Structure 1
Amino acid sequence: MTRANAPAPQKAHRIALLFNANKVYDREIIAGVGQYLLSTRVGWNLFLEEDFRCRLGGIERFDGDGIIADFDDPAVCEALADCPLPVVAVGSSFEDPSHYPGNVPYIATDNVKLVSLAYTHLIGAGLRHFALYSLPLANEHRWAYQRELAFARLREADGRTREQIDAEIYRGLSTSAPTWNQAIEQLTQWLHALPKPVGIIAVTDARARQLLQACLIAGIPVPEDVAIIGIDNDPLTRTLTRIPLSSVIQGTEEMGRTAAHLLHQMLHGARFPGRTILVPPVGINVLDSTKHQPLASPYVARARHFIRQYACQGIRTEQVADYVGVSRSSLEEHFRRELGCTVHQEILRQKLDAAKALLVKRDVSSADVAVRCGFKSVQYLHAVFRRELGCTPREFQARADAREPV
């Protein structure tokens, strides 16, 4: 093809992304938009605030071609009410269809399926009591209330009365430095009042982290007495908790790709007023916080709670027994009856699991893994891997790489 016959380059549309990308939910939607651009020949110039906040001042003067926005924020809905540009909205699903905006296409995370997936997982873990940790009622928390409604419908189907459901749902206080101690104290009181063992769904990973902290402060074993599952699968939250948190993985990247696809069509004349697309969750990242194992001995439950928190700090059997408040020999007997292993073997298993999780990330050396997981030397780490897994840490890493999907 000669230069004269070459197709003219497509116009690079100017698109604003109105999200608070300090939240993992918003970041992953933006990532989905980026994936759509990479997988197509679409050329967009994207506007996103440098500090990832969503500032609406002057948005009416945005000299662009289209907008993808988070409609969970009431201020965004109001600012774009009369926007002449093509707009695709992203946000929460609603039980009442009249709550969806009627003038723009709307891509929604399916709250009913999010909560149902978490609930089914807790049932599968052998639990019979359930609760939900939500957020205070507010316009900006409408999505959390929708998750409350989804939980209430599931509990009603299981024969719970409205009064019982109200006791199972706790909203607590908003997170702030001045109210933090009060919030944890009230949350702890609610936790103590719940029947045990109980599975709790938190409406976000951030709320799940608060639950974990309250349990650790109060000495409530997780997951033996309280199994916790969040929503978002936020990697930052996982680094801030001693007990790895199970979490529902939202279909946020698919939401971003779908939003970008619709806007792409709208930029070429298509219109989808009032169209709503519900995006289901991807699945669950199952970690220690919901690996519930019914135990007859409260001593074993309390000991495992301590081991999960401190195994990688080099604790010994005597320290575990002191925490539980029984003699070493008595604790060992309880472990043999309940788990068929010694306290030391349980500590080693926790350290080994932590080491495997680090090695899968592929950005740490064996020496770093040994230090961070409480092994006294790299040689001892290698010896444990050979004895327990039949391979070296590097061989385990290679096997993990081979299983990684292409």
Structure 2
Amino acid sequence: MRPQVLLVFLTRFEECMAMLRGIVHYERTHQIWTAFHDDEARAEVDPRWLESKRWDGIISRHTTPGLVQACRKLRIPLVDLNDVPRFPGVPKIRPDNVAIGHLAAEHFLERGFQHFGFTGFSNDGWSCERRDGFIEALQLAGRECNVFDVNYPGDVTPSWDIDQITALADWLKRLPKPCGVMACFDIRAQQILTAAHAHGLLVPEEVAVVGANNGAIRCELAYPPLSSVAPNAYQSGYRAAEVLAAMLAGEDHSALDERIEPVGMVTRPSSDVLAIDDRNVAAALSIIRERSCQGLTVDQVVAHAHASRSQLEKKFRRHLGRSPQAEIRRVQVEKIRQLLMETDFPLKRIAELAGFEHVEYMCVVFKRLTGESPGEFRRKTEAKSIQSD
């Protein structure tokens, strides 16, 4: 008879879906199970529900003391994927939070930042580990970090959110600029973005922001879209299935506490900038990022930056090695690339969305800056996608 395996995962969380994909991959290539997905996590709170069926093993992302106690009573092997302190005798697989902090720090250092901040939760071990990894990487580079930690109440209520945004704004205003700020996870990073916008701070030009966990929908809905360190949830799920299979074969993994390396940094506009300690250039870059695809002119950039055209040209060449006009074109070309990769829009529609009146001119600009036509770029991207599938 096939082993009966219970999977306790709330699928409203993106990382849970990735973990389940890793489990499915292992199960299909190594072990045939009959799996039941508890997508309401009822096994967490109702031992009677767990006792209603014979289980050979359990993998849980939402492990509680009650679930651990019930598994011990029923002698059911359990693998825990929850990023909390481990339960004695229960194998634990979780993200390498120190490495997540390191990646965020390296991301800012590569962009030339000299000032840094971290904000998280002092009562959560995973947040403290990410903070310590961030600080450690900065110290190795001879840099210091300003920390703003609070106690996490366990749930984000509207009143708590408002209070935190106010406190974060006060903290951000005191930080030297430009600065790179890491948040312990993406929800905290969204609070930073809101606080910065509410008090007139430019993101990413004055405050560059990075989160962690890389919830794709949450990050893309943020403004500007949020950079985030991506943990390897897929590998966590795969490894959990591998450990459970070994336990079902009689191996002892009760002392296991394994950390899974993150996939890497997913860079989005909230931190995709070079650190430039010049308010005129920062203001110019901000309007270029926001309005390059809406017919923006250099004269409009100059007016927004409160500098003369010749002064701004000199500053751009000193800090970026290119002119304001070239930066406008660079942003437009990046938009064209994105639309060619992510949509099947005709070139005429892409030209409109990228701020070009004539599609022919868009094609000339794109080929001059990339070395290939929009059609060639799209065909190459589609071929790579087919090969990866």
Instruction: Classify the TM-score, shorter chain.
Output: 0.7 to 0.9
- Going from structure 1 to structure 2, the CA distance change for 1:370 and 1:18 (only over 3 Å counts) comes to farther
2:129 to 146, 153, 157: 146
Count of aligned residue pairs for this structure pair:
378
2:103 to 113, 117, 120: 117
Q: Work out the CA distance in 2 between the residues paired with 1:172 and 1:57.
A: 25
1:39 to 29, 52, 64: 29
- Going from structure 1 to structure 2, the CA distance change for 1:159 and 1:397 (only over 3 Å counts) comes to closer
Q: Work out the CA distance in 2 between the residues paired with 1:152 and 1:78.
A: 36
- Going from structure 1 to structure 2, the CA distance change for 1:377 and 1:227 (only over 3 Å counts) comes to same
Partner amino acid, structure 2, of 1:69: S
2:80 to 74, 89, 101: 89
What aligned pairs does 1:277-316 form with structure 2 within 5 A after superposition?
277-295=258-276, 297-316=278-297
Q: Work out the CA distance in 2 between the residues paired with 1:159 and 1:373.
A: 41
Q: 2:234 aligned with 1:248, yes or no?
A: no
Q: Work out the CA distance in 1 between the residues paired with 2:223 and 2:262.
A: 26
- Give 1:179 shift: 4.1
1:108 aligned residue: 94
Deviating more after overlay: 349-358 vs 285-294:
285-294
In structure 1, the gaps of 5 or more residues are: 1-10, 94-98
- Going from structure 1 to structure 2, the CA distance change for 1:131 and 1:388 (only over 3 Å counts) comes to same
| Alignment RMSD (CA, Å) | 3.1
2:368 to 352, 372, 387: 387
The answer to whether the 8 Å contact 1:243/1:308 transfers is no
Q: Work out the CA distance in 2 between the residues paired with 1:17 and 1:27.
A: 11
Partner amino acid, structure 2, of 1:45: A
1:70 aligned residue: 61
Give a deviation string over 1:147-169, Cα, whole Å, max 9, x none: 23444555676788xxx86x523
Deviating more after overlay: 241-250 vs 319-328:
319-328
Q: 2:38 aligned with 1:48, yes or no?
A: yes
- Give 1:402 shift: 4.7
Q: Work out the CA distance in 1 between the residues paired with 2:348 and 2:26.
A: 40
The answer to whether the 8 Å contact 2:120/2:149 transfers is yes
1:5 aligned residue: none
- Going from structure 1 to structure 2, the CA distance change for 1:249 and 1:32 (only over 3 Å counts) comes to same
The answer to whether the 8 Å contact 2:95/2:231 transfers is yes
2:204 aligned residue: 223
1:199 aligned residue: 180
1:267 aligned residue: 248
Q: Work out the CA distance in 1 between the residues paired with 2:348 and 2:92.
A: 49
1:79 aligned residue: 67
The answer to whether the 8 Å contact 1:199/1:227 transfers is yes
The answer to whether the 8 Å contact 1:16/1:46 transfers is yes
The alignment partner of 1:290 has SS state of coil
The alignment partner of 1:308 has SS state of helix
- Going from structure 1 to structure 2, the CA distance change for 1:41 and 1:170 (only over 3 Å counts) comes to closer
The answer to whether the 8 Å contact 1:129/1:197 transfers is yes
- Give 1:327 shift: 5.3
Give a deviation string over 1:330-385, Cα, whole Å, max 9, x none: 54454355435443332221121122133233565545544444444544443332
Partner amino acid, structure 1, of 2:101: V
Q: Work out the CA distance in 2 between the residues paired with 1:270 and 1:40.
A: 16
The alignment partner of 1:104 has SS state of coil
- Going from structure 1 to structure 2, the CA distance change for 1:66 and 1:180 (only over 3 Å counts) comes to same
The alignment partner of 1:133 has SS state of strand
The alignment partner of 1:35 has SS state of helix
2:6 to 16, 21, 24: 16
The answer to whether the 8 Å contact 1:24/1:232 transfers is no
The answer to whether the 8 Å contact 1:132/1:148 transfers is yes
1:61 aligned residue: 49
- Going from structure 1 to structure 2, the CA distance change for 1:368 and 1:177 (only over 3 Å counts) comes to farther
In structure 2, the gaps of 5 or more residues are: none
2:238 to 257, 260, 269: 257
Q: Work out the CA distance in 2 between the residues paired with 1:21 and 1:180.
A: 24
The answer to whether the 8 Å contact 2:115/2:179 transfers is yes
Q: Work out the CA distance in 2 between the residues paired with 1:157 and 1:386.
A: 42
The alignment partner of 2:242 has SS state of helix
The alignment partner of 1:220 has SS state of coil
The answer to whether the 8 Å contact 1:92/1:110 transfers is no
Deviating more after overlay: 33-42 vs 125-134:
33-42
Q: Work out the CA distance in 2 between the residues paired with 1:204 and 1:143.
A: 10
Give a deviation string over 1:238-272, Cα, whole Å, max 9, x none: 32134343322212111100101111232333332
The alignment partner of 1:91 has SS state of coil
Partner amino acid, structure 2, of 1:169: F
- Give 1:31 shift: 2.0
- Give 1:213 shift: 3.3
